[in-house]
Amino acid sequence: MTILSVRDLKVHFSTEDGVVKAVDGLSFDLAKGKTLGIVGESGSGKSVSNLAILGLHNPKTTTIGGEIRFNDQQLVGASEKAMQKLRGNGISMIFQDPLTSLSPYYTVGEQIAETYRRHTGATKKKAWARAVEMLKKVGIPQPERRAKQYPHEFSGGMRQRAMIAIALCCDPALLIADEPTTALDVTVQAQILDLLRELQSEFETAIILITHDMGVVAQMADDVLVMYAGRAVERGTVREVLKTPEHPYSWGLLSSIPHLGGDVDVPLVPVRGTPPSLIDPPTGCPFNPRCDYRDRVPDSRCTTERPLLAPADGHGSACHLAAADKKLIRTDELQRLG
């Protein structure tokens, strides 16, 4: 059952230098209890598109177009009141840095209880009990005592657990996790990812996981969306995208990271150049200035015509290269990399 459906989402910011097209035509669906991994580099629009889902952009400088349907409710253009009802209740979010996203002036328990009371109208006592229960659920030892402590008394991993407790206390249908483990150490990251998986199967929460770490995606996601310059350049199941990627940018991302079990004598293959300006993006395919294969497409279509994500369903990529060419190039490349 699809709970979130995004169609042709556009998020444009007006700045002194011009209009930044941070997200420019993004579409995806997410079903109940599933995890969608959104990968991409800084500035690819992965966070911006998700802030748009929660209606968190400044309406004065931001233009949002397209459609965001959450359980048949249209979120683009929804009133602030309607959004407030939704945030923390139907849709929750956890951020990268748990210290700056928790209030230093309130105890952790108060912050969980406040969210719960706001949306359920429960009594203070009930809400506090819920806070302690949630802390226990996210694996914090001595939850009664810990609930009375302030965020600075928690370690990084504990704070992220507390954030997750706040996000899940109203049993949201959708959880947006924006780089939830990037600020954490690798052994703590493993704990938090395990926790998210456990809670997801218990609450049947749908998760949008925004990350730049292919390893995290491989462990967590059912489906993957690769974003570049405000657009989705590839979409598919986690196995399709990571095992048989189709877009040259996805190839680049995968061959530029060292693998733990990889051959250390094979040099990494970086994506050359730098990400494009979003004020004045390249014409045609936004990736074309960094792409090694644009000359293999006839009639310089890569610089003139914007490729669309095709096919419309299942595993697809936004690239003009012919399917046979892609296969050939990829086989060559993998052989070269051993």
Tell me which residues touch other proteins (CB under 8 A): 41-42, 155-158, 185-191, 193-194, 212-219, 238-239, 242-243, 252-254, 256-265, 267-272, 274-275
CB of 237 to other proteins, least distance (A): 9
Nearer residue to other proteins within complex by CB, 183 or 321: 183
**Torsional class of 291: left (φ above 0), alpha (ψ -120 to 50), beta (otherwise):** beta
Radius of gyration of the chain (CA): 21
Nearer residue to other proteins within complex by CB, 266 or 310: 266
CB 181 within 8 A of CB 193: yes
Nearer residue to other proteins within complex by CB, 140 or 169: 140
Nearer residue to other proteins within complex by CB, 188 or 308: 188
CB of 230 to other proteins, least distance (A): 15
Nearer residue to other proteins within complex by CB, 122 or 269: 269
Long-range contacts of 137-141 (CB under 8 A, 24+ apart): 137/165, 137/168, 137/199, 138/162, 138/164, 138/165, 138/168, 138/195, 138/199, 139/191, 139/195, 140/165
CB of 106 to other proteins, least distance (A): 22
**What is the rounded distance in angstroms from the CA atom of residue 189 to the CA atom of residue 183?**
9
- For the record, the structure tokens of 239 come out as 């196995």
CB of 203 to other proteins, least distance (A): 21
Q: What is the DSSP letter of 87?
A: B
Nearer residue to other proteins within complex by CB, 8 or 194: 194
CB of 141 to other proteins, least distance (A): 8
CB of 161 to other proteins, least distance (A): 11
CB 207 within 8 A of CB 36: yes
Provide CB contacts within 8 A for 56, sequence distance 6+. none
Distance between the two ends of the chain, CA-based, in angstroms?
A: 41
CB of 258 to other proteins, least distance (A): 4
Q: What is the DSSP letter of 279?
A: S
Nearer residue to other proteins within complex by CB, 79 or 335: 335
